[in-house]
Structure 1
Amino acid sequence: MGELSRKVSLAQGEGAFGLVGNMSEVAWIDQAFGVVRGRPGATRPRLSTSGVLDPHAFSATNFIYFVDDDEVLTVNEDPIDPYQRPSFSRSLVLTEAYFHALQDAFPFVVHDDFLSNLFNVSTQHSWTGRRLLAKANMMWAIGSKWLEMTGMNGEAPRDTHQHYYARARALGLDHRAVFDHPNIDQVQGMGLLVLYLLFNGSVTRAWITLGCATRHATALGLHLRVTDPSVSDEDLRSRARTWYSLYSLEVLISEITGRPKSMSVSDVTVPIDLLERGNLDYSPPSPVTSQIGDSILLEISRKTWLEHLDLMQNTSSLEVKVGELGQEAASPDYAIPNAYLPQRLCLCLLSDKIARQLYSGTNDDTWVGLQRKIHGLEDEMQHWFENLPENLYLVSRGRQSRNLRARIELAMYYRSLQMILYRPCLCANSVEVEAVESREFNHRSARACVLGAMSMLALLPDDPTITEIYRRLPWWSLLHFVAQASAVLHLELAIDAQHFEGEVNQLVESVTKAMQYLHCMAGASLSAYRAWNIFRTLLTEVSRRYHNMDLSGVAQDAPRPPGWTEELDKVVSGY
């Protein structure tokens, strides 16, 4: 029986407040603080066992760094016209921005299919028209936010991402509302809403909305293999894309919060190989655009996007590399490989398996049993690595190749899972009698955890600029990845670098790079600024354990982002 020794608060629903599990980097940060501040038992492995609540789960909430970056309800949906749409060219730019930003990681919507139906959305206020337009507004909200983050939004557009979300709310897509008997289109819309909330740092709201979307998807049977011969291949792929997009989000939020998932893979039979059939960006010609022709519309959309990138290149005084993005979009290698999504889902399934076997609250394994599980999971990860298609093979930072954005995202996710897998072994060496083989396994695994962090950071460009990293890197999980790596490195330094004797300088170099990325993101993100403050405090305390640690590359302060309040300042000062 599980026990709860103290009530858990969700605060006002903002950020990622609530229970923090040991799989989360927030728990790792808490343990590092516990070590440097001499908390009893902080140097021991921290695992969830016997279904009993870890008492440190409450202290870990002090280091939750996610904050709502923007107030998503800034624009009141009541007085606005929900059927108002951006201009033809602006709608194309926002649509292309959405698809470019997400690079098929969460394919709730298919590019060609969406464009084919975009200009046939009913203006007669039908339910079908409302649903399609609500989805479109959520996509435009995400596209607008990404353009804003990358400095490619142009001259202060009249409508911000909050305006598009306000119209979506007026059309029925609202995180505060309970959804009643939705169809697959509405489930996809809810998935887009989860993405939007997550990208805003509203992790708790995203988590709750995702739970509702998952219930509806399960009720529609999206998790099951369909044998009905009347269901078309395109419908089968749509169902699979929708389910596995929700699943990918569930895994990501579980990694961030450390909480158990609301779906079990043992109940899922929909085959992943449905996602490998043909080009995901293709759909059969639709009669609704026969006046223009699908191919012509697609070409117009592509041309409009390239013209927008050219305009941003000519008007930007800071980022000359916008032109490179245009060249990339114009190249024949721009399309994300079809194998990318299935390979990414394999990593999601591995993450789920690691969580169940190593971090489950009902885990009663001995330490030897835990080591055996780690070894088995290690073999599975190695098998995935060795069987990657050549066009997705993991890359080093300096290597030029096709599909670079997809490769970097897979490489970063792989390194993230390495940290999660080996994290239980990253603790102080035990003074108790331990078999040589067991001690060697622990030491090797602890090093592998830290090397995963160092390898991830090595993938990132040096001298980051905020707009470039959000264009080139997986921006939806970048802060999470960097915080993971930073937490692992700080924890190793906190236990006196026991697994890296004589290599402290290399650890400090990696920590410095992580801090530079947090510093870079801090000026535009409340969550990143809060994370930077947490790690800057931790680094100061860790550095006192060393003689003359060189922190010359780490700034003392970070730029405050717009919206930072005195209330948030009080939270930071209490670390």
Structure 2
Amino acid sequence: VSSNSADIGEALVSASVGSNDDLDFAQEDLLRVNEAESAGFMGRNSQAQWLRALESKVEQTEGEPSFADYRLPGASTEAFNRRAEALHGRQQKSGHTQAHANSATDYYFYLDKTNIDIEIGDPNVVPSASTARSLFGYYKHAVHSPFKLVDDEFEQQLQVYLNEKDGRVTANVCPKWKAVMNLVFAIGARYSYLVDAEWRADDRDHLVYMWRAIHLLQLQNLRALVSHPEQRLIQAIGLLALYYLTIGHVSRAWFMIGMAIRHAQAAGLHLRYENPSIPNNRRNSLAELWWALNSVECVLTAILGRPRAISANDCTVPPPGTVRTETESRSREATTGNVSTTASVYSHVSGSSTGEKSAAHNLDNFAAAYVRLDILMDKILAGLYSPRKSVRSWKGAQSMMTSLSEELETWALQSLPQGASAAAAATVDHSLDRERLLLYLYYYNAKICITRPCVCKMDERIKEQSEESSRFNQKTAQACIGAALDIAALLPDVPNRSWYYANGPWWCATHMIMQALTPLLIELSLDCVHLTIDKSHVTSCVEKLIAWLHSMKTVDAVSESAYNVVTKVLSRQRSEDAAKKQMPYPEHSQALGRQEYGPLPQQPGSQQSYQITSHPHPLQHMQPAWPGPDELNNMPYFPRPDAGRFYPNNAPSSDYLTGSNTGMHEFGQPQMSLFYANPFTATMDQWDWDSMAVEDAGHGPGRGMHQYQGQSFGGGPSQ
């Protein structure tokens, strides 16, 4: 955005004039809020904040005051004070002073306040070998791409361990390794239940595996949390964070991923290894672990709007796929050979018949594309939603949105050879593979985050802005709504939750739906001022997304909670206003005492009928190829190949299980000496169980475990 005059309106107001307003102020004393009632801090990019903004719009039928005061940009104390005064003035004019404003917690639909404590008995109990192989198969299919938190060596060790169990041989197993195993089982069990697999775990089996891992890690003991870094500990905490994400405990997940990243940084995983004594496959597995942690944190940051523990300036480790070596190629071929071992477990879920070599190639390229998008997403959240970004002017924010949009489209040209219409058509006949569906969804998700600040009545907020600025605001808001409609178009008209969990971002499935739903609802509340098309299409897409939440809530409590929050917000509007703006309006069900929506009108072909987004270059000229493996080497994200130091134990995997002096306590990275004193010497819980692994009695395929163990849910060990 350019202008010959420095005195135009967009240069004289703070960037907080957009819909992500008041980034630099906290208006709740969260430390004085009852723990059971607070969800903690949520940034402006969180959907809880978007839903709160939506409710204020549906309640303010007269609209917001025109040309409210947003004051000048600036980083000085005086500038901050003036923006605070302007905030108080806007609140008084709108009648929403902080004393009467709802907390963002009221719109928080995640489940951190849900009690998941259970009694598990002996944490050393393990399932039968057949059950374990099934759970690991689900885990590998659902998590390795894009979160490869456990390496190929762990899989080899697990196979040795299970083979020895079949032979009734007792293995010397380190508690941390067994904790990793249980968390893998927990995530696999959760996934198998969501996709309604032919063989699946019970709906609460994952809790049992999770609590076994927590006790094996001794996380009740503060000393365990601040111990020296170990690879298995980093993997275990990272897996626990991912597990919490999959069950909707995102605040707990955010805490745990921060802890895993701190341990990883203490081990130097954020740096590029150049010690010749470290094998290439070892370097690659450590790099994959680091980027998996990075990706999990990226998802959580987008959900909660909280700061990240990772700074881009501190990282030099290359993303997966950027360094191709003969050793790495052999490692990938070995991994590909193992695919067939577990493929039979989940073949009915994926429905894919792609060859092994092609699958391995696609996974390599997908990992590179996904990490590049993660890096860009970090720039988006830091550039538009971090607190100090309100010190720049709205004109500066427009320039940032332009730059980020150009970067996103450059990524799309390299990673998405098909346009939105082709992708939606492929979704209808299920010909779009899982990896490409994920990339499309996350592409639209990133576009929504870039353009979301313009989805408000900017012409009524900025005095004397230039025509160029007004056009930019209008087109950017249209791009946001178009991206949300594109997400809706990627989903089949008839909800199929098993398909979505099997092929989509099952770890944050509700988040992706809400990411599209909230801007569409806000646009409807604004009477579709940014669109020139019939608003009935927007309404039908909103109803379609709500229908998906309704379908998913039968197996996922997060979806049910989100559905209820949306229902609550929409019920605050007057029926005549809803009819005028074509907003969905909940119907009261006297039989159930709940609010439900009317049936979704069937509109065949509607999901491809409207595409507002456009690429900077004709789609037919795109090269139908993934980005090359070495393209990321030139990215400015990695300033130099700083050498780290690592000393792996090169003993064969089987030796860890059978050696008299090694056992499993040496898996991966050896323990590093503590670099600070630790005054904590007593544990909070002592587990005196026999270390010999005991098989779950009677836990056969298709049946859950808790029915055999008589678990009492609610009142077990605290986390």
TM-score (norm 2): 0.66
Q: CA deviation at 1:7?
A: 1.5
The equivalences for 1:294-443 within 5 A come to 299-303=340-344, 305=345, 323=348, 325=349, 327-328=351-352, 332=356, 335=360, 336-363=362-389, 364-388=391-415, 396-399=423-426, 404-431=433-460, 432-443=463-474
Match of 1:565 in 2: none
Q: CA deviation at 1:397?
A: 2.4
Q: CA deviation at 1:508?
A: 0.2
TM-score (norm 1): 0.82
Matched, 1:207 2:224: no
**Structure 1's 242 and 173: CA in aligned 2 closer, same or farther, altered over 3 A?**
farther
Q: CA deviation at 1:2?
A: 7.2
Match of 2:498 in 1: 467
Matched, 1:225 2:252: no
Given candidates 513, 519, 530, the residue that maps to 1:499 is 530
Q: CA deviation at 1:337?
A: 2.3
Given that 2:478 and 2:530 are in contact with CA atoms closer than 8 Å, whether structure 1 keeps it comes out as yes
Q: CA deviation at 1:130?
A: 2.0
Given that 1:91 and 1:140 are in contact with CA atoms closer than 8 Å, whether structure 2 keeps it comes out as yes
**Structure 1's 342 and 33: CA in aligned 2 closer, same or farther, altered over 3 A?**
same
Q: Equivalents in 2 of 1:22, 1:296: separation in Å?
A: 45
Q: CA deviation at 1:246?
A: 1.1
**Structure 1's 67 and 513: CA in aligned 2 closer, same or farther, altered over 3 A?**
same
Q: Equivalents in 1 of 2:367, 2:374: separation in Å?
A: 10
**Structure 1's 455 and 300: CA in aligned 2 closer, same or farther, altered over 3 A?**
closer
Return the structure number with greater relative CO, CA threshold 8 A, min gap 6.
2
The equivalences for 1:273-312 within 5 A come to 273-274=320-321, 277=324, 283=331, 299-303=340-344, 305=345
Q: CA deviation at 1:185?
A: 2.0
Given that 1:66 and 1:201 are in contact with CA atoms closer than 8 Å, whether structure 2 keeps it comes out as yes
Match of 2:476 in 1: 445
The equivalences for 1:104-143 within 5 A come to 104-110=145-151, 112-121=152-161, 129-143=174-188
Match of 2:231 in 1: 184
Given candidates 170, 181, 198, the residue that maps to 2:215 is 170
**Structure 1's 458 and 247: CA in aligned 2 closer, same or farther, altered over 3 A?**
same
Q: CA deviation at 1:486?
A: 0.9
Given that 1:241 and 1:275 are in contact with CA atoms closer than 8 Å, whether structure 2 keeps it comes out as no
Q: Equivalents in 2 of 1:67, 1:211: separation in Å?
A: 19
- Over the matched positions of the two proteins, sequence identity in percent amounts to 26
Q: CA deviation at 1:85?
A: 2.0
Q: Equivalents in 1 of 2:114, 2:359: separation in Å?
A: 31
Moved more, 402-411 or 450-459: 402-411
Q: Equivalents in 1 of 2:500, 2:139: separation in Å?
A: 16
The CA deviation string for residues 471-497 of structure 1, in whole angstroms up to 9 with x for no partner, is 222111221111111110111111121
Q: Equivalents in 2 of 1:10, 1:275: separation in Å?
A: 48
Q: CA deviation at 1:145?
A: 0.8
Given that 1:44 and 1:428 are in contact with CA atoms closer than 8 Å, whether structure 2 keeps it comes out as no
Given that 1:16 and 1:257 are in contact with CA atoms closer than 8 Å, whether structure 2 keeps it comes out as no
Match for 2:154: what amino acid? F
Matched, 1:261 2:285: no
Given that 1:334 and 1:403 are in contact with CA atoms closer than 8 Å, whether structure 2 keeps it comes out as no
Match for 2:271: what amino acid? L
Match of 1:216 in 2: 263
Moved more, 540-549 or 420-429: 540-549
Q: Equivalents in 2 of 1:281, 1:201: separation in Å?
A: 37
Match for 1:545: what amino acid? D
Q: CA deviation at 1:458?
A: 0.5
Given that 1:72 and 1:165 are in contact with CA atoms closer than 8 Å, whether structure 2 keeps it comes out as no
Match for 2:141: what amino acid? H
Moved more, 137-146 or 401-410: 401-410
Match for 1:370: what amino acid? A
Number of matched pairs? 530
Given that 2:570 and 2:584 are in contact with CA atoms closer than 8 Å, whether structure 1 keeps it comes out as no
The CA deviation string for residues 191-226 of structure 1, in whole angstroms up to 9 with x for no partner, is 111000111111111111111111111111111112
Q: Equivalents in 2 of 1:540, 1:2: separation in Å?
A: 31
Q: CA deviation at 1:154?
A: 3.8
Given candidates 464, 487, 494, the residue that maps to 1:456 is 487
Match of 1:291 in 2: none
Given candidates 77, 80, 94, the residue that maps to 2:122 is 80
Given candidates 135, 159, 166, the residue that maps to 1:94 is 135
**Is the partner of 2:147 in helix, strand or coil?**
coil
Q: Equivalents in 1 of 2:333, 2:405: separation in Å?
A: 45
**Structure 1's 274 and 15: CA in aligned 2 closer, same or farther, altered over 3 A?**
farther
Match for 2:290: what amino acid? W
**Is the partner of 2:352 in helix, strand or coil?**
helix
Match for 1:113: what amino acid? E
Given that 1:14 and 1:202 are in contact with CA atoms closer than 8 Å, whether structure 2 keeps it comes out as no
What stretches of structure 2 of length at least 5 have no aligned partner?
A: 1-22, 89-97, 589-594, 598-719
Q: Equivalents in 1 of 2:350, 2:395: separation in Å?
A: 53
